[in-house]
Amino acid sequence: MEDRPEIRAETQIHVRVWGMDADARPFSQNAVANNISGEGAQILGINHPLKAGDIIGIKHGEKKARFKVVWVTDAGALRKIEAGVQIVEGEESPWQKIAKPEELTFAPGKIKRRFVRHKIQFPVQIGLADTQRAHMNTNATDIGGRGCYVETMLPLPLGTQGTITFWMDEQKVQTTAVVRTSDPGVGMGIEFTTLDTHIQERLQQFLDKMDTSLREDNPAKSTTNAAS
């Protein structure tokens, strides 16, 4: 019996799916998601071969997240490839406002990050020992006090070490870093390895102020945070 993620809601929504397919070719296409829950969904109408274990990106509206492919079925010429996907630990469901509240309770036992990760565009410079591409100027799309995620079709290999440089107002900050996750066609997760604790906390506060979506999504919570 296939190990499929828990699925509940019957709502169908339009999504954007991208990543690296089973033939190691990058792809990006529109698709349909149904049976959605806080843990995952069933994706219909995929034109590219996938395999269980692949990491793909899925976007709905302005929200996006990384998902792991759990199962794949060839549904024929009309329905094409169908896949069951499960959200990657620490990611926030792109269809959070559609699913019922009880469906957004993720499975117990998952590790909670010390710092909240913010889905914002945050400029960073990645420094590498490779002289042919000593610096990469890019944007982190998911960042917190301990690390970030950078979307790229060609992520650096797992374990790659380098430096991350960024600015907080007028302060330039630099830390050594290592690639902890590398998802072909999607991006890479980077850990800040030598960022002092007080700088981590300052960075988190800086990001909290930048992330206007927190106040827009939950004004009451923002008021509470400001008062605490």
Judged by phi (left if over 0) then psi (alpha if -120 to 50, else beta), residue 167 lies in beta
Q: For residue 147, what are the β-bridge partners?
A: 144, 191
190, 149 contact by CB (below 8 A): yes
The maximal CA–CA distance of the chain, rounded, in angstroms, is 57
Q: Which domains occur in the chain, in start order?
A: 13-104 (2.40.10.220), 122-214 (2.40.10.220)
Residue owning tokens 């000593």: 134
What's the token pair of residue 171?
A: 């302060």
Written as tens digits, the pLDDT of the chain (228 aa) is: 445 444 344 578 999 999 999 999 999 999 999 888 888 999 999 999 999 999 999 999 889 999 999 999 987 766 689 999 999 988 888 988 776 544 444 443 444 456 788 888 999 999 987 656 668 899 999 999 999 999 998 899 999 999 999 999 999 999 999 999 999 999 999 999 999 999 999 999 999 998 876 555 554 444 444 433
Element housing 58 (H / E) = strand 55-60
What is the model's pTM? 0.69
